[in-house]
Amino acid sequence: MLSLVEAERQERLGARLAFLRQPSLLIVDEIGYLPVTASGTNLFFQPVNSRYEKASMVLTSNKGFKEWGDIFGDPVAAAAVLDRLLHHCHIVNIRGPPTACASTQGSFATGNVTFSAAAVHIMTGHCR
C-alpha cells in the first residue's frame, strides 16, 4: 500500500496500477501490520478491484476478517475489499504450529483461503 501512496504523491498512480495488474499472481504480505489511512484504503481497493476475476492474489495477515474494518478504518471499504477477495474462494480452517516460530499458532494454506485465529491467508484465483 505504501507504494500506491508514494505513486499517487509522485503523480504516477496510473503507471503503478498498470504494473500491479500485470503479474498472474500478486502477493500482498502482512495486511494490518501497519494502519491504513482512508486514502490508502481507497488506493488498495483499486488493484484488488482491477484484478477481480482476472488474476490471482495472495494476501497474508495476522488479523481476522472481523478486524479488517479497523485495519482499513472503514468497515464498508473493508467489506468491499473482502467481497472481491473472497468471491470464488474456499475457506479452510487449519490450525497448527508455524514453521517460523514454534511458540505461536499459525496456518498452512492448502486451499484457496486459509483462516485461523493467528493468521489469514487469502488466495484468489482466476480459472481459465
* pTM listed for this prediction: 0.73
Distance CA 24, CA 106 (A): 26
Going by pLDDT thresholds of 50, 70 and 90, the confidence category of residue 104 is very low
pLDDT tens track for 4-33: 999 999 999 999 999 999 999 898 888 888
Is 89 or 54 the better-scoring residue by pLDDT? 54
Q: What is the DSSP string of 3-43?
A: HHHHHHHTT-HHHHHHHHHSSSEEEEEEETSS---HHHHHH
Domain residue ranges in the chain: 2-124
pLDDT for 14 equals: 95
Is 79 or 115 the better-scoring residue by pLDDT? 79
pLDDT for 121 equals: 53
pLDDT for 45 equals: 95
Q: Which amino acid is at 74?
A: D
Mean pLDDT of the chain: 78
pLDDT for 117 equals: 39
> Is 2-124 a domain of CATH 3.40.50.300?
yes
pLDDT tens track for 39-61: 899 999 999 999 998 988 888 77
